[in-house]
Amino acid sequence: MTFAAAVLTLYPEMFPGPLGHSLAGRALGDGLWSLETVQIRDFATDRHRSVDDTPAGGGAGMVMRADVLARAVDDVLSRRPDAPMLAMTPRGAPLTQARVRALAAGPGVSILCGRFEGIDERLFEARPIEQVSIGDYVLSGGEMAALTLLDACIRLVPGVMGAASSGNEESFESGLLEYPQYTRPNDWEGRTIPEVLRSGDHARIGAWRQRQAETDTRLRRSDLWERYGSARVGEPSGAR
Ligand code: ADE
């Protein structure tokens, strides 16, 4: 079974873009995932093929029309009823590794990319669309956010990463940042690789990595650390 992605956008030429290269590009060539782009403008009905209009109540910029977007969304939902429909917007719920993993385990995803000042809110009342943000900053459109979400999903699709890793020992899967990595040369500009990593003692290495992951998470990401701590209540505090 392949992971089927559909992207609804005014800029289909932005896809697959970076996803045509490296790991994702190889997997696309191997048929492990598929990509369909849908030009939103094809669902406009007026002479000018307009997809946007001025914001009700005034203000800068343009708003994407609910009627045009609904026709595009309905077309995709009718052909792909099993894939969740997402809309990339800074107003959405923050994307998490847990959501990425759930999407990657499913049949695929359909993604609506916003442009301009936003999307007429009535679209989200009238259609089953999950609004997703990739972070607290504003992009010029949802396309780069869609590429980010797809990249995160595709690397987890079975067969894409091969035997090297299942991806689930990494950052965020444990609730912690990943431990730091090193490779040869052992001595670089007078800095050497931590001795424990060259000991061959896998129990010691595992314990060192866990401690590093915890320290780095506590110092760099107090938000993750607090959640990690509350998820572990009941365990002896000496374990933390
Ligand atoms: N579109 C514009 N900014 C965005 C963001 N931060 N996340 C998702 N979609 C967006």
What is the SS3 string spanning 149-181? HHHHHHCCCCCCCHHHCCCCCCCCCCCCCCCCC
Check residue 126 and give its pLDDT: 99
Residue given tokens 């690789």 in the structure block: 193
Residue 91 · residue 131 · CB < 8 Å:
yes
Task: Quick: pLDDT tens for 162-203.
Answer: 855 655 567 788 999 999 999 999 999 999 999 999 999 999
Domain residue limits, the chain? 3-163, 169-239
Mean pLDDT of 150-157: 98
Residue 62 DSSP code: -
Check residue 166 and give its pLDDT: 57
Ligand 1 first shell, C-beta below 6 A? 88-90, 114, 133-135, 137-139, 142, 145
Q: Do domains 3-163 and 169-239 have the same CATH topology?
A: no
Check residue 34 and give its pLDDT: 98
ipTM surpassing 0.95: yes
| Residue in 11, 89, 117 to alter for ligand 1 test, most ligand atoms within 8 A of Cβ | 89
238: pLDDT strictly greater than 60: no
Burial of 179 (0-12, 13-18, 19+ CB in 10 A): buried
Burial of 89 (0-12, 13-18, 19+ CB in 10 A): buried
35: pLDDT strictly greater than 60: yes
- For domain 169-239, the question of CATH label 3.40.605.10 is answered with no
Annotated binding site for S-adenosyl-L-methionine: 114, 134-139
**CATH assignment of 3-163?**
3.40.1280.10
